């Protein structure tokens, strides 16, 4: 008789659990600890424990204060998004900074500043120029009686002067047609053992006009040696044609 009543209470409790579960009131049903049915079906017992509240041995239902399938509080996503954006911004900034540094370094290596023999030998051009570490342009005039060509070789040797100092120059290759002594030249290269080893030589009146600063420095050398006109610049050549 008692078992029949217990089964009846269990059936009523299950029905009540289903109704309350549909209403989402958070009731869960747990079978008694000594129930043989729950021992045989632990999974069903766990499911009922999750979906229903608790029923005591007298069959009285108790209501859980937690809502059914209550979602756990999630961490705010805004902070994660901001952190991810900050990482991308920092990475982009690093790439731009590295590219800028590489471009600047390449430009510094390719830029050849113009110096006169006095500036090179006097040290005002910098120790890296005089020691042969930096590539630069040497501007001045071919000193009279200094040009010589080695027999059986393409190497030419001459001296470039600015009126105050002379610097020996060595160049292997074909010189410009208008290259001659007492004419202004611009040579590009490096110092080696006290000799300027030129990679390129441009002579005055060459088809390639030199920048104004180069023409001004070579013009000073011309004035000191009383040699002709100063080299033409693009602006001066355009003015002479008008």
- Which tens digits make up the pLDDT trace of 138-149? 988 899 999 999
Mean of the pLDDT values across residues 205-234? 58
Residue 68 is encoded by which pair of tokens? 């059914």
- Range list of H helices, 113-211: 117-122, 127-130
The pLDDT of residue 97 is 92
Instruction: State the Cα–Cα distance between residues 211 and 208, nearest whole angstrom.
Output: 10
Mean residue pLDDT of the chain comes to 72
Span 34-85, pLDDT tens digits? 444 544 555 555 555 454 544 444 444 444 444 555 555 555 677 888 888 8
Q: Can you give the pTM of this predicted structure? A: 0.48
Domains annotated on the chain, with CATH: 2-62 (no CATH), 113-231 (2.40.50.140)
Q: What is the pLDDT of residue 220?
A: 65
Distance CA 234, CA 242 (A): 13
Using pLDDT thresholds of 50, 70 and 90, give the confidence band for residue 200.
very high
**Residue 62: which of 28, 14, 18 has the closest Cα?**
28
Neighbours of 30 (CB within 10 A): 20
pLDDT tops 70 at residue 240? no
Query: What is the distance between the alpha carbons of residues 137 and 184, in angstroms, rounded to a whole number?
Result: 13
């Amino acid at each position: 008789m008692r078992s029949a009543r217990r089964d009846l209470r269990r059936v009523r409790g299950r029905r009540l659990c289903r109704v309350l579960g549909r209403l989402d009131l958070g009731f869960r049903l747990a079978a008694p600890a000594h129930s043989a049915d729950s021992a045989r079906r632990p999974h069903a017992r766990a499911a009922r424990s999750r979906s229903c509240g608790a029923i005591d041995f007298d069959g009285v239902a108790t209501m859980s204060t937690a809502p059914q399938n209550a979602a756990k509080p999630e961490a705010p996503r805004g902070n994660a998004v901001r952190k991810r954006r900050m990482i991308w911004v920092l990475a982009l900034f690093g790439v731009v900074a590295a590219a800028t540094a590489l471009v600047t370094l390449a430009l510094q290596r390719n830029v050849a500043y113009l110096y006169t023999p006095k500036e090179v030998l006097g040290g005002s051009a910098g120790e890296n120029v005089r020691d042969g570490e930096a590539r630069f342009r040497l501007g001045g005039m071919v000193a009279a009686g200094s040009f010589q060509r080695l027999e059986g070789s393409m190497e030419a040797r001459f001296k470039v002067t600015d009126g105050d100092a002379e610097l020996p120059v060595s160049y292997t290759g074909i010189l410009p047609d208008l290259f001659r002594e007492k004419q202004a030249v611009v040579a590009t290269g490096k110092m080696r053992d006290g000799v300027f080893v030129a990679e390129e030589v441009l002579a005055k009146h060459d088809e390639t006009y030199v920048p104004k600063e180069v023409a001004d420095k070579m013009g000073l050398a011309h004035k000191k040696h009383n040699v002709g006109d100063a080299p033409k610049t693009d602006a001066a050549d355009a003015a002479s044609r008008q």
